[in-house]
Chains A and B, each alone.
Chain A
Amino acid sequence: MLATGVLGAADDPWIRWDWISGHVPVIRAALAQHVELTLIAVAIGLIIALPLGVVGWRERILRGPIFSVTGILYTIPSLALFSILVPFTGLTTLTAEIGLVSYTLLILIRNVVVGLDAVPEDVREAARGMGYRPFRQAVGIEVPLALPAIIAGLRIATVTTIGLVTVTFVIGKGGLGSLIYDGLIRDFKTPLVVGTTLSVALAVFADLTLAGIQRVITPWARSRAGT
């Protein structure tokens, strides 16, 4: 895994269009794998984070442990986490997703809690007065009102995950990271430039898409911000 490329290939340009046109299927497959790994990670992360965030907001005693555990997961470097997991779960998508999902949790849960904190007490009062039970109140009233913060968390988690997927090349599931790694081991700049550019473009695209979704589904947040 050491960079063994021959140094001094100084005449290697930053981009060789002939390589790109000859490798469109490879690039497309890497991009597709990148998107897939990201979508699965963020979706599972959200499914875990929503209930944990709601529980953590309601039961203050659980809030500490939830943030401590997800905080520790967040702190463990990806390469270290993968190296510990691989002997147990192998070079599989499962290994990649365990790592990727665990990095989304702190960000998502925190934003769920921040969002729930911002729900006005009057609204909760009114919901209780109308006979809402805790579960329906959470699903029907509180989570929708917390959406601006939750989606803000999704944006951060998604962009972070897109960056992290590049590291999963160590378990052979690198997405665009495999192009970057290819650039490293062969000391050949074109796949590096292609992988980096597409990864950044994907992150920007995902961020803007989620921002657009947020504007559409939470119109009240927009009008409040406008005043």
Chain B
Amino acid sequence: MSLFEQVARWFADGSHWQGDFGIPNRLLEHVELSGASILAAAIIALPIGIGLGHLRRGGIVAINVANVGRAVPSFALLVIAFELVGLGWPPAFIALVALGIPPMVTNSYIGMGEVDADIREAARGMGMRERAVLFRVELPIALPFVMAGIRTSAVNVVATATRAALVGWGGLGRFIIDGFSQRDDAQKIAGGLLVAILSILVEVSLTGLQRLSVPKGLRMRESVDTTLSKVPAAELSAA
């Protein structure tokens, strides 16, 4: 039996679709863990990035936190968290939150920096209070960058949540890790495919959301080169 047939049979096997060890439950675990981590990371990161950007302060920290984040292997974060709090979802949650914070801080800071000083001046000149300047002028213009940060974080988090299986949690990574330890090629490939499909779905849908988040008045500028708008702003800034 060829490998492709084995994988097809694995997916066709009804027992892989039910119960705690089935695909639906593993998917739910994966999405729950990722979702909670992204939410927690956003609650911590966005006020920091947006706040610093509004105050035009702490730029060096805000820009470099993403570079530092890239240098620390996410696998090491996970194992350190495991040493601190033991097995299960807590270490995975801690590592994923830590992983999710940097891109959101950096991108939202950069987005706020994109707002022209003239526009801020004009808003103040019209008598807007600081709150209104922030929420009604700066944030809408910075929103695509904020969304780019959320997308980058979310894609990283969903991808890395696969490794939660290494510290005794479920999620779709369970199939991959079990596939390796049981030398079960079909399960390995099936798990890999499930994780890959989920990641691509998250990437594509959040890219769509990011496009929609561009304020109407700025759409023209955005359409100049949509292929490059896939680029996380933080990474472009390095160029």
Mark A residues whose CB is within 8 Å of B: 1-3, 7, 63-64, 67, 71-72, 75-84, 86-88, 107, 110-111, 113-115, 148-149, 152-153, 155-156, 159-160, 162-164, 166-167, 169-170, 177, 180-181, 183-184, 187, 189, 192, 195-196, 199-200, 203-204, 207
A residues less than 8 Å from B203 (CB atoms): 71, 75
Q: Is the CB of B76 within 8 A of A192?
A: yes
Closest B residue to A188 by CB, please name it: B83
Q: B234: nearest residue on chain A (CB-CB)?
A: A156
State whether the Cβ of B25 lies closer than 8 Å to any Cβ in chain A: no
Majority DSSP secondary structure for residues of A touching B = helix
Contact B239 A199 (CB under 8 A): no
Measured in the bound complex, the distance between the Cα atoms of B191 and A114 in whole Å is 36
B235 at the interface (CB under 8 A from A): yes
Report if A83-B228 is in contact (Cβ < 8 Å); known contacts: A153-B239, A196-B72. no
Q: Is the CB of A77 within 8 A of B159?
A: yes
Report the separation of the CA atoms of residues A80 and B72 in the bound assembly, to the nearest whole angstrom: 20
Residues 211-234 of B at the A interface (beta carbon under 8 Å): 227-228, 230-231
Interface residues on chain B, size class: 35 or more
Task: Find out whether the CB atom of A84 lies under 8 angstroms from the CB atom of B83.
Answer: no
B163 CB contacts on chain A under 8 angstroms: 79, 167
Check if B235 sits within 8 Å of A166, measured CB to CB: no
Most chain B CB within a 10 A radius of its CB, from A169, A170, A189, A204 = A170
Query: Which chain B residues (57-101) contact chain A, with CB distance < 8 Å?
Result: 67, 70-76, 79-80, 82-83, 86-87
| Interface hit among B12-20, B46-54, B165-173 | B165-173
Given A75-B203, A79-B163: A200 touches B191 (CB 8 Å cut-off):
no
Query: In this complex, which of B176, B193, B203 has the most chain A Cβ atoms within 10 angstroms of its Cβ?
Result: B176
**Contact present for B73 and A163 (CB under 8 Å):** yes
Task: For the complex formed, measure the closest distance between the CB of B159 and the CB atoms of chain A, giving whole angstroms.
Answer: 3
State the CA gap A88–B203 with chains docked (Å). 27
Q: What is the distance, in angstroms, from A200's C-beta to the closest C-beta of chain B?
A: 5
Determine which residue in A64, A110, A199 has the highest number of CB atoms from chain B within 10 A of its CB, and name it: A110
Looking at the complex, which of B112-120, B137-145, B194-202 is the stretch in contact with chain A? B194-202
Is B189 touching A87 in the complex (CB atoms < 8 A)? Answer: yes
Count chain A CB atoms within 10 A of each CB in B79, B167, B178 and give the residue with the most.
B79
Q: Does B236 contact A (CB under 8 A)?
A: yes
Query: Is A114 within 8 A of B239, CB to CB?
Result: yes
Q: Decide if A167 touches B75 in the complex (CB within 8 Å).
A: yes
- Inter-chain contact B227/A1, CB cutoff 8 Å: no
Q: Judge whether A180 and B159 touch: CB under 8 Å.
A: no
Q: How far is the CA of A2 from the CA of B178 in the complex (A)?
A: 8
Report chain B residues within 8 Å CB of A7: 86-87
Contact A156 B238 (CB under 8 A): yes
Among B36-44, B121-129, B179-187, the stretch in contact with A: B179-187
A75 and B188 in contact (CB under 8 A), knowing A152-B238, A160-B70, A192-B76?
no
Q: Please, how many angstroms separate the alpha-carbon atoms of A166 and B76 in the complex?
A: 8
What would 9 more interface pairs be, CB under 8 Å, given A1-B180, A7-B87? A1-B177, A3-B168, A79-B162, A80-B162, A87-B189, A113-B228, A166-B73, A181-B75, A199-B71
Q: Find B76's partner among A2, A75, A180 (CB 8 Å cutoff).
A: A180
Are B73 and A207 in contact, CB atoms less than 8 angstroms apart?
A: no
6 A-B interface contacts by CB (under 8 A): A86-B188, A114-B239, A166-B76, A167-B75, A199-B76, A203-B70
Instruction: Chain B residues near A199: list those with CB within 8 A.
Output: 71-73, 76
Given that A83-B180, A184-B79, A192-B79 are known contacts, is A200 also in contact with B71, CB under 8 Å in the complex?
A: yes
The reply to whether B195 and A77 form a contact with Cβ atoms under 8 Å apart is yes
Contacts of A78 in B (CB 8 A): 159
In the complex, how many angstroms separate the beta carbon of B125 from the nearest chain A beta carbon?
A: 32
Residue from the set B73, B181, B228 with the largest chain A CB neighbour count within 10 Å? B73
B176 touches A79 (CB 8 A): yes
A2 touches B181 (CB 8 A): yes
**Which A residues are CB-close (under 8 A) to B239?**
111, 114-115, 148-149, 152-153
Q: Across the two chains, which residue of chain A brings its CB closest to B3?
A: A87
